[in-house]
């Protein structure tokens, strides 16, 4: 039904319990004055880090917490599923890049009633399916 490269988000609510999955999200990584900046494409979310790896970790952890926040406030992730603006996509298509493609799936169970996670961040395919694209300096 879906291409491997297509980003997908799944939300399965069941009362106060929710299952959320995000797949094949593309993230553009760029070096900005010695720090690393990570910008999501299909989801307009960003992070930063001292190293590329830290930027990725902060992106993933922050996005997970953002999903939780949306579930608490809105009961859905609809408002989270906004793509980045054209300027970001132009940068992605216009830059010379090396592509690091990984597969990431996280299935998060959240019980909003007890404010506890029944299974916290159970990751079946750790750091897989977020396609990190590194932006290189032009020669």
Partner 1 sequence: MDEDLVSRERVIHVFEQVSSTLNISFFADGSQITIVKGAISDVFDLPDMIPRKMLHFFHRKYDIRIEFFFHPEMIHKSSNTVQ
- If one asks whether residue 70 binds partner 1 (CB under 8 A), the answer comes out as yes
Residues 86-105 that bind partner 1 (CB under 8 A): none
Minimum gap (Å) between residue 84 Cβ and partner 1 = 9
85 binds partner 1 (CB under 8 A): yes
3-state secondary structure the chain: CCCCCCCEEEEEEECCEEEEEEECEEEEEEEECCEEEEEECCCCCEEEECCHHHHHHHHHHHHHHHHHHHHHHHCCCHHHCCCCCHHHHHHHHHCCEEEEECCCEEEEEEECCCCEEEEEEEEEECCCCEEEEEECCCC
Judged by CB under 8 A, the stretch of 41-49, 93-101, 106-114, 123-131 that binds partner 1 is: 41-49
Q: Which of 13, 19, 21, 44 binds partner 1 (CB under 8 A)?
A: 44
Binding to partner 1 in span 6-35, by CB under 8 A: 30, 32-35
Binding site for partner 1 (CB under 8 A): 30, 32-37, 39, 44-50, 54, 57-58, 61-62, 65-66, 68-70, 73-74, 79, 85
């Amino acid at each position: 039904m879906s291409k491997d490269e297509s980003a997908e988000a799944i939300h399965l609510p069941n009362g106060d319990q929710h299952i959320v999955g995000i797949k094949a999200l593309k993230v553009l990584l760029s070096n900005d004055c010695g720090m690393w900046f990570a910008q999501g494409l299909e989801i307009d979310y960003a992070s930063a880090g001292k190293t590329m790896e830290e930027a990725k970790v902060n992106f993933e952890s922050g996005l997970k917490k953002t999903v939780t926040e949306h579930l608490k406030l809105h009961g859905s992730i609809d408002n989270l599923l906004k793509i980045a603006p054209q300027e970001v996509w132009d940068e992605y298509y216009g830059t010379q890049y090396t592509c690091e493609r990984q597969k990431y799936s996280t299935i998060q169970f959240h019980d909003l009633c007890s404010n506890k996670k029944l299974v916290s961040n159970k990751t079946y395919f750790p750091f897989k399916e977020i396609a990190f694209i590194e932006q290189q300096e032009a020669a």
